[in-house]
Amino acid sequence: MGTSMYERLGGASGIGHLVDDIVEAHMANPLIQARFLPYREQPERLAAVKRHLRDFLGMGSGGPEQYDGKGMVGAHRGMNIGAEEYMAAMDDILGVLTKHGVDEQTRKDVLAIAYSLKGEILRV
Ligand code: HEM
């Protein structure tokens, strides 16, 4: 029995740090920062989105969290997210996972899942 993906991501606290850094990376990424910087002015909304991201990642990796946010289409509907932006977000995620010492197989697994959601997020 191997360790679960949830454990390999560092459990609840590890995932919390990952989400904080991923959002920071998006805010610093010229390709997508305009989508995220407005949340600096809405700390409560930012906290809610981050909680949803933690729950989404926690539940999706086998943890006890329950995601009660919107579905992927509903969360991104009307944003008209393009392929370049999508790749930029994936680059941010990969960079943060690497920085946090998440192993290569786990990084590939996370990216594969993220990539599989493309049809629910791009230009919906
Ligand atoms: C695999 C890729 C992605 C996943 C798994 C994902 C996941 C999520 C989740 C779980 C939420 C929270 C929904 C809620 O609060 O109900 C969210 C919100 C959001 N996502 Fe994504 N996302 C992805 C890609 C993107 C991309 C590429 C962009 C834009 C460049 C983006 C922009 C946003 C924004 C702006 C919000 C906040 C929406 C709000 O205020 O309700 N996402 N995303």
In terms of residues, how long is the chain? 124
Distances (CA, A) of 32 to 60, 61, 87: 24, 25, 10
Question: Ligand 1: distance of its center to the CA of 89 in Å?
Answer: 10
Q: Find the distance separating the first CA and the last CA of the chain, reported in whole Å.
A: 39
**What domain range is 19 assigned to?**
5-121
Distances (CA, A) of 8 to 14, 57, 119: 9, 12, 27
Which residue owns the Cα nearest ligand 1 atom 43?
75
* Ligand 1 and 69: CB distance under 6 A: yes
SS3 of residue 3 by DSSP: coil
Number of domains making up the chain: 1
* Ligand 1 and 121: CB distance under 6 A: yes
Q: What percentage of the chain reaches a pLDDT higher than 70?
A: 99
Average pLDDT, the chain: 96
pLDDT digits (tens, 9 = 90+) for 19-76: 999 999 999 999 999 999 999 999 999 999 999 999 999 999 999 999 999 999 999 9
57, 13 Cβ separation under 8 angstroms: no
- State the ipTM, two decimals: 0.96
CATH number of the domain to which 40 belongs: 1.10.490.10
Give residue 4's pLDDT. Answer: 93
